[in-house]
Every structure is written in structure tokens, then in C-alpha cells.
Amino acid sequence: MSQSADKVLDHFTLFHQPEYRALFERKKKDFEFGHSDEKVAEVSEWTKSKEYLEKNFAREAITINPTKACQPIGAMYAAQGFEGTLPFVHGSQGCVAYFRTHLTRHFKEPNNAVSSSMTEDAAVFGGLNNMIDGLANAYALYKPKMIAVMTTCMAEVIGDDLGGFITNAKNKESVPQEFPVPYAHTPSFVGSHIVGYDNMMKGILSYFWDKAEDYSVEKTQAINIIPGFDGYAVGNNRELKRIAAQFGIDVTILSDVSDVFDTPGDGEYRMYDGGTTLEATKQALHAKATISMQEYNTNQTLQFVKEKGQEVAKFNYPLGVTATDDLLLKLAELSGKAIPDSLKLERGRLVDAIADSHAHLHGKRFAIYGDPDFCLGMARFLLELGAEPVHILSTSGSKKWEKQVAKAVEGSPFGAAAKAYGGKDLWHLRSLLFNEPVDYIIGNSYGKYLERDTKIPLIRLTYPIFDRHHHHRYPSWGYQGALNVLVRILDRIFEDMDANTSVVGVTDISFDLVR
Amino acid sequence: MSLAVNTDIDVKGLVDKVLEAYPEKSRKRRQKHINVLEAEAKDCGVKSNIKSIPGVMTIRGCAYAGSKGVVWGPIKDMIHISHGPVGCGYYSWSGRRNYYIGDTGVDAFGTMHFTTDFQEKDIVFGGDKKLHKAIEEINELFPLANGISVQSECPIGLIGDDIEAVSRAKASEIGKPVIPARCEGFRGVSQSLGHHIANDVIRDWVFEKSEPKAEFVSTPYDVTVIGDYNIGGDAWASRILLEEIGLRVIAQWSGDGTLAELENTPKAKVNLIHCYRSMNYIARHMEEKYNIPWMEYNFFGPSQIAASLRKIAALFDHTIQEKAEAVIAKYQPMVDAVIAKYKPRLEGKKVMLYVGGLRPRHVADAYTDLGMEIVGTGYEFAHNDDYQRTTHYVKEGTLIYDDVTAYELEKFVEEIRPDLVGSGIKEKYVFQKMGLPFRQLHSWDYSGPYHGYDGFAIFARDMDMAISNPVWGLQKAPW
């Protein structure tokens, strides 16, 4: 027995004690009837081969470790960024448990949403009664200012009509007639979480903007910014507001989760806090322009905004110096205001930091995966650092996106090896990493399996990050955000360097104090 | 310790007050799920295993979560296809900490996510063709997978796919079991039906279609561990005790389990059940079909562990019984030291629980061993037999809540102000914001194991860590 009260051993050490090692051996030998160690080793090697890569890339039907979720979680996230809003997911209830869990594990914050809890009878007769009772219960218990309705694939397959159902529920007095209940159909078998975000955003804006009495009001100088689905939203949205304040621009962030997903620990639980106010959302119709920070999160929304007479501009998760330059120039152009000196100073500090560290970044090869916009933003930043994006992979990526990536890296000597893989997954990336190795992987927590298998260090810079804490509180956008990203990359590089030079008398020749 | 809890609170009044917030129809339904335990009650006096009411933030999951997430997912040498759209498998990917040993992606697949990623055309034209192809691809890329299960997501049952036909055809083609589970998320009222479906699928597609391994040699001391998902290594910390008392654990269901272990289970002399709720079905089936008795046990906390070891040993001969006593004696000094260290800091602390499966009752005595008392408990997806069993563990006055809504739990906790809340990730941050110590009792809050004597030391340390951390004293600013 190794356990003791003085020094309690948990799973990290307990299972490496001799009594457990022996137990594992016995279980394997006597009861598991598995394959021989030799066979496992042989197949393990084969999975790393070129031959395996080719078979792996020939896959048509099975997806393995994708970099995408389904529409309603994106829709839920978009809705949660509005003041006092309770997402109401119409369909099976298990989905909501999953969405809430996933978002909570990343932000380490409560995540609220309700389900209409449809079961077999609703599958046969439709979910109208679930909508009627569900809206009444949600309204009475949780006292939201708005309920945003979206769907699971169950409700989509049976063809429930949200618009009709909501009208019906209002007529049955589930919620008052004037109570805002925007909605979006969000089938899980179309697109991914970023399309769900787009659908819900359009649903909410349509609800507030399609009222006839507002048509004749003149445009203001205000600018709307739609951040898109972003794991760093807490830091990033605050950074956007800070930048706007320096400019003196009246900016409305449409779906601002920054305070929603960052409530204080002061003894009081706030079910609702922060978020874009409903009034500001309504007024956002009259803004001069709307900027999307993530093109692939807002295809339909931006089209809708354009039809309302606003100028629109789109970015692809702008990271780094030139992407931030472009964002600021666009803000200056749209607002007619000069870029403040304070931001120019921040730019200079960022460039200075890159100059200080470039020797550790130059020529380093990277794999990047995640949402299409993140991959584009990250690849561009790496090019600026003199690093080389090599494999750029997104399960949500389309052919159009692949071309966009190719264009982004074109002309840079650091982009010569870059290739975009749209519609591919992390099992494809595993083959790529074995056959065309890189120095670092940039992705999310799911990449830790790739790191374990390939021994290529992982840098967590996109949603979801489950196994590191609080990164989402720091921005990655703006010059300050770029500095954070730079430091995260550098820290990993330096840690890796130390780890590779730490064997006394063998590799520690290069175990330098000053780097 | 007292014979009753919550004696200083009008708990019945609290329940009435909390339920006032509901519209009448829902209030009437919810009333039946909440009760205050009476002295010498035969059950907890609550309705259970009934549809959640819409719109209330139930904490429950679905049948897919019960089948793929709980029962099948941990079988490590098989590939479990999340059949349908991409989300279900994505959200349940590596979420439950079912520890296993193996070369992931080569001969073990527990922390991988396989999906047919349905697109609109699959919904319109059906997904059987895609499933055929998916199984072929898996067979080619993962030659050491010992079988495949098809875990249905909602659309499968709605669009009329015949996954059983595909499974039969592919099984004979690839020469390995292909096992279809009809665990669409809209079936039933919670995870619970998914457990039942998954049990039935093992009966029909494992027991009925394969035999125990020919090389398997039985002994009179062969038992199984049923309903232990090896969260944080729980099953291993249990197995070690059973081995120490002289038994052979021929199968683990299903944490760190293999297909061969499932197949060999009918050779057991007795099936030992930890999570009764999720696996009693298969134990009852084996009792009927193979005449294998089953017994429930509880490996949380030294009182229950010792009682369970004795109960298990009593099914065998004297040598086992003597060894059981020797094992209990061997661990006693460590247990005493753990209690001596932590009990003074935890004595009298009140705990409220809301979990699934077996834990709302099974962990109660582990807390009692540390001098703590349960003042409220409830289950996500229990049936009446769970609530009957619960009366043995909790005291008069305990607040019982079935399928509690986030609203109710928040209000109950606010009013009762326990010293510790034990529930899931969705609840964790709500209560921490309120300034209440919290431990996740699904995932062991990334710690564990909590089963067995080794686990009890960790359990005690963790509860103390939650309660005694200085952070709870920092919540109020000094001005």
C-alpha cells in the first residue's frame, strides 16, 4: 500500500505505484485478450507512415476529431451576449446539457440556457406544446429580458416552425405579446457552430430592425462590431471597447459576452450581467457601419446589415501588426477620426517586442487549426513574425477559404510551404505532422493528443481551452492582444528549448541563462 | 451525531416558497418531485423518471449521453461512432475522464471522436450508405479495433435509417462485431433510458452473437465489477481490493473495459454492481439467463467499504472471508490517520448533493465517516428503486429533490447555506460565485480516484481543500 494520510497520492502518482502497475499487467494478460505488444508497436508505426497518410486522406465518410461543433452552440453563444437574454433551445434536452457544459468548461463560468425538452411524443406530434409551456416556465422562473429561440436537429428533422410556434405561444400568454423572442433555425447537419452564430445574430437583429417605424431615421456616426464566436471574447471585446474609447468612436459590440462570462466572485451569483443592451441593439440599426471581426461567422448577417443601408467591413480574426493596422485604418475611415497617437505608441511597442524576439521565431514551422477566421488571422501573424505557417486546417473550411489562405500567404517567402486543408480533421493533421513535421502546433485543448503522439509542442490559442485557465481573460486582438499572443508563443518556445537542453552533462551545453 | 437534519430550518416552507415562482401547471408537476424525508420512510416520497418540464433548465442529459457517454464509450478497444450530426460526439469527446490504458488510435480509442458528421443530404436521402462507408474506412485505418458500435443521434430514428441491417452486413464483411444502439436523444426522459438501451444492446448483440473466449479458464473466485466507469481510476482502486481478498475480476463494466471482458462475463460466479442505476438491467438478465447472482456494493468511504468487502466475502469460502478481514485490518491504520487528519476540520459541516447514478446516496457515508452530514440530495435520472435505497443513507429532515431545476437548486442552497455543494460542472460556478465551496461529483473535479481505501484518502483531502481554501474569506471587499 502506497497511500498515506501524510502525503495523499491521487491519480497522478497513485497509479504508477508498484501495486497498480502489477494490477494493470494482470488485467491485460489474463482478461483483455488484446493484441500483442509487437503487433501494437507495428501498427502504431504504420499509422505514422506515408502509406497511412494516403489512406487517411482518402476518407469520405468518417470524421475523426473534427475542429467544429454544431450550429446551436454557436447560436446560444451569440444570444448570450445580449442583456438579460436566456437562450431557449427547442428540441431534445441533452443538447443543452452538452452546450452548457462545453462553454462552462472553457470560460469557467456559469452558462445558462433552457431546453424545450422534447421527447418521443413531440417527435410524433411536433413540439408546439413544449414551446408554449417552455416559454411560460422560462419567463416565470428566470425573468429574462429576452428569450432567444434556436433549434436542435430533432426539431429541424420533424420540421417545427419556430415563427408560428412563438406566435402561438404568445397568443396563449406564455410571454407578453411585446416580449422579445427572436429566433433562428439552427440545424446541426448544416455548417457548424459559426453558421449557428450567424443565424442567431441575424435572427436577433431582424427582430429589432425589421420594425417598420424605424426605417426613416437617419444614420448616426456610430459603428457596430460583431465579434463572432471567440474563446478569447472576454479579453477581446474589452480590448475593442478600449480601442474605440481611445478613438472616441461610439461603438456597439453586437453580442458582447465579455461581462456575461466574467462575473465577479463577491458572494453574489448574477444569472445575468453585462451583454449588449436591447436598446443599443435596437439603435444599432441606425449606425453608419457594421464591422465583422470574423467573416465566416457573419455571411448572412452582414448581407442583412448591408440591406439596411449600412456600410460593412469584414475581417478574419485580425491578429498582429498589419491586421490591427487594417482594423484601425478601417475604423478611421468609417468614423472620419484620426488614429490616436496612443495606439501608434502601442503599435511601436509591439513592433519593438517582435524585434527583440525575432531570432527565436524566424523560420520556425507551425501547424494551425481551428475555425476558418482564426486560421487566417493566425497564419498572417506568423508571416509577420518570420515564422512559417505550414499546415493550416479547419474542418469548417471551404474551398473558398482554402483559396483565401493561399492568397494570404502568397508573396511571402515564409508562406512558401503553407497549405490549407478545408474540411479535414485532426486525424488528418496527425498524419501530416508525422510526414511533414513542424516545430509547433497552434490550436486548442484537443490538440494535446497530437502533442502527445507527435511530441510537437502545442500552443493553445483558440476555443476550447479546457486544460489551461484564464487565457480567455487576455485579449489577442489589437496591438496589446498581439503582444499577448507573441508572449504565449515565445513562452512555449523557451520552455521547449529548456526541456530539450536539460539533461545534465549531455544536452545541457545549451541550457543558457540568457536567451 | 443527531438523528435528524435541517431541524432549525422550515424546509417544507422553503419548498413551498420556491415553487411559488412556477406557473400553476408546472408547480403542480414539480411539487411531486420534492419532499422532506420523514422518519422511517420506505422511500423518499418523490416521483421520478418522469419527463422534465420544458423551459426550466433541467440538468439532465439524453439517451445518447447514457449509451455512448456512459455505458459504451469507455469500452476502450472498440470504436464508437457518433452516428448523425457532428455535435453530440464533439461535446462528449473526452469529457468523462474514463481512464484506460492503451495506445490511443492504435489499440484503444477512448479519447477519440468518430462521427459520420451528417449533412443535409444524409438527412434527406438517409445515412445508411454513409455508415457502410464509414465502417469500411474505420476497418482499414484501425485494424486493431476489436469492434465497432453505432451510437444513434436524434435524426437516425426520425429519418428511418436501418442501422441494424447495416451493422449485420458489415459485421460479416469485416469479421468483427458491429453493434447498433438506438439511443437517439429524444428517447425517454433522461440519460437513464440510454443506459437501459445500451444494456439491452450488449445482451442482444454481444451475448447473443458471441461466446466467451475459448482460452478463458474459469476459477471459483471469478467476479465482475459492473457499473464502474473508472472515472479518475475508480475501478482500479476497487479492483485492487477485490484482488487482495482473493477474487479475480474477470471484467470491468465498462471503465477500462474491453469487448472480451463483456463476452467473458457470463463466466462470472457473481456480478458485483456499483452503479445500480445504469447497469442493473444486464445483471438481472444474467441472473435469469445464466443463473449468475448479483450484488450491490459501495466502495465510498471506509464504513461502506468494510461492510461491502464482508458482504462480498460472505458469498465465498472462509479463505476469502479471512482475507477480507485481513484487508480491512491492513487499511485501517491509514483510514484512521486520514480521519484523524481531516475530521477535526470537517466535523459538522453540511453538504448538499445533486448528482446522477448512484452518488446521491452512495457517497453519503463517506461524508459521515468524516463527520459531515448530508442535508439535501437528489438525482438527475433516478427511478423509484433508487429513492427507496436512498432512505438507508440519509436522515429525517433531508431535503430530497428529483430532476431539480437550476432555479430550485439555487434557491434551496441560498436558504440552507450548506458548507459544501457537490454537483456537476454546470452547477459549479453558480455556487462558487455565491461563496460556497464546491466539488464536482461527476468528474471528481479532475481528481480521483474516490473509490476504495486509496480513493477515500483523496476524497477526504479534496473535501477539506474545497472547504478550507482561503479564497472564501476574500469575497467581501473590506470597504
DSSP string, B251-277: EEEETT--HHHHHHGGG-SEEEES-HH
Average pLDDT score over chain B: 97
Give me the pLDDT at residue A194, please: 98
Q: Are strands B34-36 and B399-401 parallel, antiparallel or unpaired?
A: antiparallel
- Residues near A191 by beta carbon (within 8 Å), at least 6 away in sequence: A71, A396
Shortest distance, CA B398 to any CA of chain A (angstroms): 24
β-bridge mates for residue A87, sequence order: A148
Cell numbers 470491468 correspond to B252
How far is Cα of residue B136 from the mean position of the Cα atoms in its chain?
33
Judged by average pLDDT, the poorest of A209-213, A459-463, A508-512, B252-256 is A209-213
Strand boundaries in A83-237, DSSP class E: 85-90, 114-115, 146-151, 223-226
Instruction: State pLDDT tens for residues A379-402.
Output: 999 999 999 999 999 999 999 999
Nearest CB partner across the interface for A114, out of B57, B237, B460: B57
What the block records as the C-alpha cell of B118 is 451528417
Neighbour count for residue A212 (Cβ, 10 Å): 6
pLDDT for B2 beyond 90: no
Measured at the CA of A49, the angle between CA A46 and CA A51, to 5 degrees, comes to 95
Amino acid code (one letter) for B60: R
Give me the pLDDT at residue A211, please: 81
Q: Contacts of residue B113 in chain A, CB cutoff 8 Å? A: 64-66
Instruction: State pLDDT tens for residues B225-257.
Output: 999 999 999 999 999 999 999 999 999 999 999
Give me the pLDDT at residue A213, please: 61
> If pLDDT is split at 50, 70 and 90, which confidence band does B429 have?
very high
Contact A188 B138 (CB under 8 A): no
Give me the pLDDT at residue A215, please: 63
Instruction: State pLDDT tens for residues A128-180.
Output: 999 999 999 999 999 999 999 999 999 999 999 999 999 999 999 999 999 99
Compute the residue count for chain A.
Answer: 515
B positions 65-124 inside 8 Å of A (CB):
65, 77, 81, 84-88, 90-95, 99, 101-107, 111-120, 122-123
Give me the pLDDT at residue A218, please: 87
> If pLDDT is split at 50, 70 and 90, which confidence band does B1 have?
low
d(CA B438, CA B218): 45
How far is Cα of residue A103 from the mean position of the Cα atoms in its chain?
10
Shortest distance, CA B195 to any CA of chain A (angstroms): 14
What average pLDDT does range B316-331 have in this prediction?
98
Q: Contacts of residue B51 in chain A, CB cutoff 8 Å? A: 117, 119
d(CA B237, CA A110): 32
Nearest CB partner across the interface for B433, out of A33, A188, A269: A269
> If pLDDT is split at 50, 70 and 90, which confidence band does A217 have?
confident
User: Could you tell me which of A235, A256, A258 has the C-alpha nearest to residue A461?
Assistant: A235
Contact A97 B435 (CB under 8 A): no
Judged by average pLDDT, the poorest of A204-213, B25-34, B386-395 is A204-213
Contact B57 A142 (CB under 8 A): yes
Strand boundaries in A143-295, DSSP class E: 146-151, 223-226, 251-253, 289-292
Give me the pLDDT at residue A448, please: 98
Q: What's the DSSP call for residue B207?
A: I
pTM above 0.90, yes or no: yes
Q: Contacts of residue A270 in chain B, CB cutoff 8 Å? A: 433
Give me the pLDDT at residue B385, please: 96
Q: Is residue B178 within 8 Å of residue B135, measured between CB atoms?
A: yes
User: Could you tell me which of B242, B78, B250 has the C-alpha nearest to residue B174?
Assistant: B78
Contact B243 A26 (CB under 8 A): yes
How far is the CA of B188 from the CAs of A438, B37, B205, in angstroms?
48, 27, 21
Give me the pLDDT at residue A212, please: 62
The catalytic residue positions of B are 62, 65, 96, 195
The catalytic residue positions of A are 153, 157
What the block records as the C-alpha cell of A79 is 444570444
> If pLDDT is split at 50, 70 and 90, which confidence band does B384 have?
very high
- CB of B441 within 8 Å of a chain A CB? The answer is no
What average pLDDT does range B52-62 have in this prediction?
98
B positions 144-183 inside 8 Å of A (CB):
144, 146, 153-155, 157-159
Q: Which alpha helices (H) appear in B353-424, and where do they start and end? A: 359-362, 364-369, 384-390, 406-416
User: Could you tell me which of A389, A401, A393 has the C-alpha nearest to residue A370?
Assistant: A393
Amino acid code (one letter) for B424: G
Compute the residue count for chain B.
Answer: 479
Contact B63 A94 (CB under 8 A): yes
- Residues near B466 by beta carbon (within 8 Å), at least 6 away in sequence: B420, B437, B438, B439
Q: Contacts of residue A394 in chain B, CB cutoff 8 Å? A: none
User: Could you tell me which of B335, B336, B310, B347 has the C-alpha nearest to residue B452?
Assistant: B335
Mutate to test the interface with A, among B22, B56, B174 (most CBs of A within 10 A): B56
pLDDT for A189 beyond 90: yes
Instruction: State pLDDT tens for residues B385-397.
Output: 999 999 999 999 9
Of all residues in chain A, the percent with pLDDT exceeding 90 is: 98
d(CA A224, CA A161): 30
Q: What's the DSSP call for residue A461?
A: -
In this structure, the dihedral spanned by the alpha carbons of residues A259, A265, A266 and A268, taken in order and rounded to 10 degrees, is: 70
Q: Contacts of residue A139 in chain B, CB cutoff 8 Å? A: 55
β-bridge mates for residue B420, sequence order: B351
d(CA B158, CA A196): 22
Peptide bond into A464 cis (omega under 30): yes
**Minimum CA–CA partner of A130 in chain B:** B54
Q: Is residue A281 within 8 Å of residue A208, measured between CB atoms?
A: yes
Give me the pLDDT at residue A254, please: 98
What the block records as the C-alpha cell of A72 is 446551436
Instruction: State pLDDT tens for residues B331-381.
Output: 999 999 999 999 999 999 999 999 999 999 999 999 999 999 999 999 999
pLDDT for B19 beyond 80: yes
What average pLDDT does range B128-136 have in this prediction?
98
Shortest distance, CA A276 to any CA of chain B (angstroms): 22
Q: Is residue A72 within 8 Å of residue A90, measured between CB atoms?
A: no
Q: Is residue A408 within 8 Å of residue A376, measured between CB atoms?
A: yes
- CB of B213 within 8 Å of a chain A CB? The answer is yes
Q: What's the DSSP call for residue A471?
A: G
Q: Is residue A397 within 8 Å of residue A420, measured between CB atoms?
A: yes
Q: Is B226 helix (H, G, I), strand (E, B) or coil?
A: strand
Peptide bond into A398 cis (omega under 30): no
Q: Contacts of residue B23 in chain A, CB cutoff 8 Å? A: 136-137, 140
